[in-house]
Amino acid sequence: AVTMLELILALIGAVPIVLFVYSRLTAQKPVLYVKSSTRWADLLREKVKIIDEVYTPTWWCPFGYAQTIVREIFRFHPKLDWQREIVKYSDGGQSALDWLHPKDEIANQKKNTPIVVFLPGITGSTHTAGYLLHAAVEANAKGWRVAAFNCRGLGGVELTTPKTYNANMTDDIRDTIRLINERYPTAKKFGVGFSLGGMILYNHLAKCEGAEETGLHAAMILSSPWNSLRSTMDIETFWPRILFNQNILTNLVNLVRPYKEMFEEMVDWEAMLQAKTIRDFDKAFVVPLFGFKDYKEYYHESALYYKVHRIPIPLLALNAADDCFALPKTLPLDDISRSEHVAMCLTAHGGHTAFMQSSSPSDPGFIERLLVEVGDVVFNHL
């Protein structure tokens, strides 16, 4: 008879096989949502090869939750030679703009060397965001100049005014892009935002009257939530609440905790310290600080889904169907398919900013190759 130990060992042995088979059986090509008659559509279909290939997630980690966690915890952070610049804003605030210049001295001296402007996620910075660091490595290897925007209070720069950031606060990125354009007026600029950084970038574009005003040639947003209210509700469900909500909330509270004297008169400080979810934090801190009526008004103002027609430059969004921060039901696929400028690449797998493909959590994945291929299109064909 089969002993219990043999049965357990057999089950353990079967797990890798099941995962491997699952990852292969569910692998599929991404779906590209784009208005077919546009030049942007033609360029994406013709030049961005990865969109037309089957995306197979890492065999031992095919699920969205797992990929997101594994990338976050186990990804190696490369040490990069950032040159830090402190950008001072008109209201007395400041934030860090980190530059990674081309290794090649000739490319570095040239004023028209292409520039990728990165915006990290909700509490991410060049100190903490592995997804940004790895993308910066790829951009740098292409000989492009990299400028990484850090929101106020992040990346080791202290707050000088009682103002942080939110998904709809675009003044700082607008001023930063303006500064980059003054310094490198002839260089093509490509904006790339991750998650909340993608929301800030997209909202900046949506507020601009035309392409010229954006200060960018094209943009890409990666794993950005499109409907703030619905995404907030989705990450309050059982597993996302345990796996992600708590961690992000802790980071948000820790960011402002040292500045009690600066903020306590302007927000509900005690409610913020007792917050159980990101929504609680937004209600207690973001809503009063930025003068919103309530959290619903903030979430509506910051949402992307109804602004597709306002985007004045070519933009590619990447989302995964298994990303709990931006489930497929929240994506404005019809509007995107009718849009002159916005396209979406939707994958079956990939989680939130993870998109692993090979066995190691530190290896480049779908995002890094997409960045390089789309960057080539933006800098050489648009």
Establish if 25 belongs to a structural domain: no
Q: Is 6 or 98 the better-scoring residue by pLDDT?
A: 98
Burial class (CB in 10 A: 0-12, 13-18, 19+), 122: buried
Q: What is the pLDDT of residue 221?
A: 99
Q: Is 363 a residue whose pLDDT tops 80?
A: yes
Of 144, 252, 128, the closest CA to residue 192 belongs to 144
Let me know whether 287 and 249 are in one domain.
yes
For the entire predicted model, the pTM comes to 0.95
Catalytic residue among 98, 172, 234, 323: 323
Q: What is the pLDDT of residue 10?
A: 82
Would you give the DSSP letter of residue 158? Answer: P
Catalytic residue among 195, 228, 231, 339: 195
Active site residue 376: no
Q: Is 182 or 37 the better-scoring residue by pLDDT?
A: 182
Active site residue 352: yes
Let me know whether 157 and 288 are in one domain.
no
CA distance 315 to 331: 15
**Domain tally for the chain?**
2
Q: Give the 3-state secondary structure of residue 114.
A: coil
Let me know whether 274 and 340 are in one domain.
no
Let me know whether 69 and 209 are in one domain.
yes
Q: What percent of the chain has pLDDT over 90?
A: 90
CA triplet 246, 120, 362: central angle to 5 degrees?
A: 85
Q: What is the mean pLDDT of residues 348-373?
A: 96
Let me know whether 238 and 209 are in one domain.
no
Q: Is 251 a residue whose pLDDT tops 90?
A: yes
Establish if 63 belongs to a structural domain: yes
CA distance 294 to 70: 35
Let me know whether 219 and 281 are in one domain.
no
Q: What is the pLDDT of residue 342?
A: 99
- pLDDT band of 7, cuts 50, 70, 90: confident
pLDDT digits (tens, 9 = 90+) for 277-312: 999 999 999 999 999 999 999 999 999 999 999 999
Q: What is the pLDDT of residue 20?
A: 84
CA distance 117 to 78: 19
Establish if 149 belongs to a structural domain: yes
Q: What percent of the chain has pLDDT over 70?
A: 100
Establish if 257 belongs to a structural domain: yes
Q: Which of 277, 302, 327 is the last residue of a domain?
A: 302
- pLDDT band of 329, cuts 50, 70, 90: very high
Q: What is the pLDDT of residue 36?
A: 94
Q: What is the pLDDT of residue 28?
A: 94
Which structural domain, as residue segments, surrounds residue 376? Answer: 32-227+315-380
Q: Is 200 a residue whose pLDDT tops 80?
A: yes
Q: Which of 302, 324, 352 is the last residue of a domain?
A: 302
Let me know whether 97 and 201 are in one domain.
yes
The pLDDT mean for the chain works out to: 96
Q: What is the mean pLDDT of residues 123-130?
A: 94
Active site residue 323: yes
CA distance 192 to 127: 17
Q: Is 146 a residue whose pLDDT tops 80?
A: yes
Catalytic residue among 204, 217, 341, 352: 352
Establish if 37 belongs to a structural domain: yes
Q: What is the mean pLDDT of residues 159-179?
A: 98
- pLDDT band of 85, cuts 50, 70, 90: very high
Q: Which of 302, 330, 363 is the last residue of a domain?
A: 302
The CATH number of whichever domain residue 45 belongs to comes to 3.40.50.1820
- pLDDT band of 19, cuts 50, 70, 90: confident
In this structure, the chain runs to a length of 382
Lowest average pLDDT, out of 58-72, 172-186, 189-203, goes to 58-72
Let me know whether 176 and 289 are in one domain.
no
Q: Taken in order 165, 169, 170, 175, is the CA torsion positive or negative?
A: negative
Let me know whether 77 and 153 are in one domain.
yes
- Taking 3-state DSSP, the helix, strand and coil percentages for the chain, each rounded to the nearest 5, stand at 45, 15, 40
Q: What is the pLDDT of residue 2?
A: 74
- pLDDT band of 142, cuts 50, 70, 90: very high
Tokens for 311, please give them.
Answer: 């985007």
